[in-house]
Structures are given as structure tokens and as C-alpha cells.
Chain A
Amino acid sequence: MVPPAVQFENVGIRYGMGPEVLRDLSFSIPPNSFQFLTGPSGAGKTTLLRLILLSIKPTRGLISVFGKDVSRISNDELTDVRRKMGVVFQEFRLLDHLTTYENVSLPLRVQGKDEASYRNEVVELLHWVGLGDRMHVLPPVLSGGEKQRAAIARALIVRPAMLLADEPTGNVDPSLARRLLRLFVELNRQGTSIVIATHDLGLMDLVDARRLVLGDGYLHIDG
């Protein structure tokens, strides 16, 4: 039996001595599934994505990602898990000293792959997201929408088993937003689990998918 891509059991997290920002989260993300993560601003969507991404640790509960219990995961396993994930950050997190091309190819470069083996693919993806003529440009010169597309391209370039996207269409026009959404759906059809954090109801209405709704620190699932 294939384990869920992500499994949460009674997970809670608090920052410092403050109250729990997320409480008793129990859900799973099956392989090859598509879901939206939604809720009002400040509900904890980004925190939940960071928990899935293993960039923060829960204060209680059990999280397993790709069948690995994250509380017992070794550094090597952690790297393997992250290489199976593509992530689009809300604030993009592009490296300002690298060109768009270098940013997008970064996940392949850190895996030690030879540039010749991925150059064509990166260029093609950059053209597809409309950054073909911006590949030699440093991120500070890019507009918000261009940065977002570069961040999305960086997440997609590794053909991840799971894509986590935090407000991936927040800075692009509706037309490109729909194209990107279609791309996510296409990726999902090819076997990638997709989690899109958004509060754009119009975007969510375009795809019939499960909705993980965060509110007051709790999660409930629609669909």
C-alpha cells in the first residue's frame, strides 16, 4: 500500500510561549491528489506549508512525509524528502545574486547535475512561463509577477512528487493565473500531489478539488 504523501496526527504548533497557532491537525494528503489550502489571512496557511516542508518542527503530534516520521528523520532523508517537493513561496525567495536562469536551475544544480543536462529544459520552461527574455536578469530587476513565475518555474523544474504553492497566483494577471492553474492540474494528472494555499475563491472555483480550510487554528476539510 502506498503511504500518503503527508500524514498529520494531532499536530499542534506554538511559537515560543504563545498560544497554539495550529491545533489538533489530523489529515492526510494522498499521493496524486489536488487540494487547496484556504482560510483568512493569518489563519496559519504558511505555517502549515512550512510544517509539511519540514522547515519548522511541530510542538506536538506526529507528521510523516512520504512515509518518513519527521521526528526521526536523518539529514540525508530530509534532503531526499525535500528533493521530492517543489515549493513556491509567497515572498518568492529568489536569490538576488543569481540570474533568473540560475535561480530556476538551482534545485538541479544543488543535486550536482551537469548544466548541459538541464540547460534546454530550464530554458524551455522559462520560455513557457514567459521569462524567455528575462533569463539573464537578476531578480531585483524583475516585476512581482515575473518573480512569481520564476519561483513557480524553480518549483516545477525538478518534476516534484508534491508541489506546495503559497499564493502562487497572487501577483499575476487572471489570464496567467488560469494558465498556471492549468499547469498545476496537468502536473497533478501526471502524478504530482498539489497543495495550493490561496484565499482566491475565484481560482478555487475553477477546479473541483478538496479544500483544507483553516480557521481559529483548526482545520476542517471540504470535499
Chain B
Amino acid sequence: MNFRRSRYRNTTTTDEGNPKKDKRPDWEKPIGPALGRGAPLVPVDSAGSRALMAVIAIMTFLAALCAGGAQIVASNSSEWRAAVSREVTIQVRPAPQRDIDADVQIATNLAAQYPGIKKAQAFTKEESERLLEPWLGTGLDFNDLPIPRLIVLELAGGAPPDFTNLRQQLQEQIPGTTLDDHALWMSRLSTMANTVIGVGIMLVVLVLGAVGLAVAFATRGTMAGNREVVEVLHLVGANDDFIAREFQRRFFKMSLKGSAMGAVAAIVMVLCFSLLSSIWRASATGEQLEALFGSFDFGWQGILAIIIVALIVSGITAVVSRATVRHFLTASN
């Protein structure tokens, strides 16, 4: 039915001759572009929404810190492993009736010419003694102590050298010499780092799971509270998918805000830690901590990890809310 031509209309006259006064009926005057506010069809319960947004923000914050921590450990352990795997150490122990300097020279020459080894650098006696100073203190006479001498081998790229053969040759020429390729230490380090990374990832997964459950319960609560709205939407011709999309849109927007807040808080926190760590790094304690645990180098990968976590949280919210609504509607049909 065309209401513009309806016989129930009162008037259709216009006064085009008078530009100052538009005497056209209201419904013939130009209509503003924004009559619809794009208001959500599902009413927003502000208290419940704020609570859920706060939960999402906190969860995102925790998940982002776990992910960022795991990323720092992964990055540092990767650096440690790369540094350690590039170096191998030969330890020459002093022995009676042997000239340790000659032994060191023989071992250095042997190693330097060995295939796969780029460089062999022997620590001098003074350098070896200096390595012990942090434990034994300064001013001691080390001449009476049988201090072993170290030779650091820098490996060339590509396949690792045949350490078994090198070790055997060294043993033959200089008895009591050991070759440490750090395999045991690296294995333990890798295990520790992988465990920490695994725990971090598991915590992230648990937190994301908790987000999913919180959103599912919130969606069910919202559905139950808006049963009348859902019924009206159905009766005016909305299908389940449309209603699910409406709920999904609402929860996704809310989740984006919450996860953005959590992510920003996490980024601010790690930047503060970075700043503090750079200040501490100048002190002796900071150096030792850095030597033990690696640097607090968050970098762009860490920021990216936090942003990805926030997006995943929003994505989970969207998917869970939609699935919950579909399940609810199917069950109620």
C-alpha cells in the first residue's frame, strides 16, 4: 500500500511560490539522514556490561602478561642457546712433569686447524685467574693453585664438527684435557626454558578458557533477561542467525573495549618494567640478574603477542556469544 497516495491523506498541496515558508506537510519535507541511531536491538544492561568488560580487561591483562613472559623467556633462551651453541670450550688441566703453556699451545693449534672450527682463543694465565676472582677474591697468589686453562673455540657455520674425534685427539696428545660442547647444559637449559614457555602458554589457554566461560554465562543471562525482546524479534521476522549476530555484535564491541583496556595496561606495565630494568642494569646487582635470567628485552614481538592475545580474547567472545545464542534459540525452539 502506498501511503503517499492513500485516500486517508489529509492534503497534498505545496506552496512552491513562497520560498520563505515551506507549507508542505511534514511528511513531504526533506527527511534528516539519521533517524535510526543504529541502536542495538538487544538492550544494553550497563551494570552487567561493565562487570563483564572489567572481567575481560582483567583476563586479557593476565593472559597478555603470561604471553609476554613466555615470549621473553623464549627470546632469551633462544639467545642463550645460539650463543652457547656457537662456542665450545677445551679445558687443559695442569699435570706434573708437563708444561701447561705448551699443552695449551698444542691444543689451540690442533683445534684451530680442525675442520668446522673458525677460531681458537686460549685464555692466558692472567685471564684464567681473573675468572676466579669473583669467587676467591683479589690479592691471592694463584701460583700455588692448579688452575686449569681454558681455550674457547668459535665454531664456523654449517654442520657441527666431529667433537668425538677432536676429543679423542686431544686426549691422545694431552692427557687430562677435556672438551665441553655444553650439550648437557644446553639440554637442561632448553628443558627449563621450554617448561617455562609451556606453563606460560598453558596459563594463557586457561585464561582464555575462563573468558569463554564468563562470556557464555553472561550471554545466557542476557538472553534470559531479554526473552521478550527475542520473542518480538522472532515475531517481526528475525531469524535465529540475525538475533545471534545482534548479540555477537554487542558482546564483540564490549569485548574489544575490555581487551583493549587490558592490553594497554599490560603494555604499560611491561614498559615500566623495561624502564626499571634498564635503570637496574647499570648496577652490579642488575648485571648479575641479567647474567642469570637474561635481559628484560620485551621488543616488538612482546607488544605483538599482547595485541594478538587481546584480539583472540575479542574473537573468543564473538564466537562464544554467537554459539551460545544459537544453542539457546535452538533449545527454546
- Total number of residue pairs linking A and B with CB closer than 8 Å: 96
A128 touches B8 (CB 8 A): yes
Stretch from A13-21, A117-125, A141-149, A207-215 contacting the other chain: A117-125
Looking at the assembled complex, report how far the CB atom of A106 sits from the nearest CB atom of chain B, in whole angstroms. Answer: 5
Q: A95-B229, A115-B35 are in contact. Are A128 and B237 (CB under 8 A)?
A: no
Chain A residue at smallest Cβ distance from B243: A110
Check if A68 is an interface residue, CB within 8 A of chain B. Answer: no
Check if B158 is an interface residue, CB within 8 A of chain A. Answer: no
How many residues of chain A have a CB within 8 Å of chain B?
Answer: 47
Chain B residue at smallest Cβ distance from A75: B240
Check if B23 is an interface residue, CB within 8 A of chain A. Answer: no
Looking at the assembled complex, report how far the CB atom of B49 sits from the nearest CB atom of chain A, in whole angstroms. Answer: 13
Give the complex CA separation of A223 and B239 in angstroms. Answer: 37
Interface positions, chain A 170-202, Cβ under 8 Å from B, are 179, 182-183, 186-187, 190
Chain B interface extent, by class: 20 to 34
Stretch from A3-11, A26-34, A40-48, A79-87 contacting the other chain: A79-87
Looking at the assembled complex, report how far the CB atom of B226 sits from the nearest CB atom of chain A, in whole angstroms. Answer: 10
A53 touches B236 (CB 8 A): no
Task: Give the interface SS of chain A, mostly helix, strand, loop or mixed.
Answer: helix
- A residues in contact (CB < 8 Å) with B: 53, 55, 75-76, 79, 82-83, 87, 93, 95-99, 101-102, 105-107, 109-112, 115, 119-125, 127-128, 132-133, 135-136, 154, 156, 158-159, 179, 182-183, 186-187, 190
Further contacts, 5 of them, CB under 8 A, given A79-B239, A109-B36, A127-B26: A75-B239, A95-B232, A106-B233, A106-B236, A124-B27
Supply 27 A–B pairs (Cβ within 8 Å), ascending by A: A55-B234, A79-B237, A82-B237, A87-B235, A95-B41, A95-B229, A99-B37, A101-B36, A102-B36, A102-B37, A105-B36, A109-B41, A110-B41, A110-B233, A110-B237, A115-B36, A121-B3, A123-B31, A124-B4, A127-B26, A132-B26, A132-B27, A159-B1, A183-B8, A186-B1, A186-B7, A186-B8
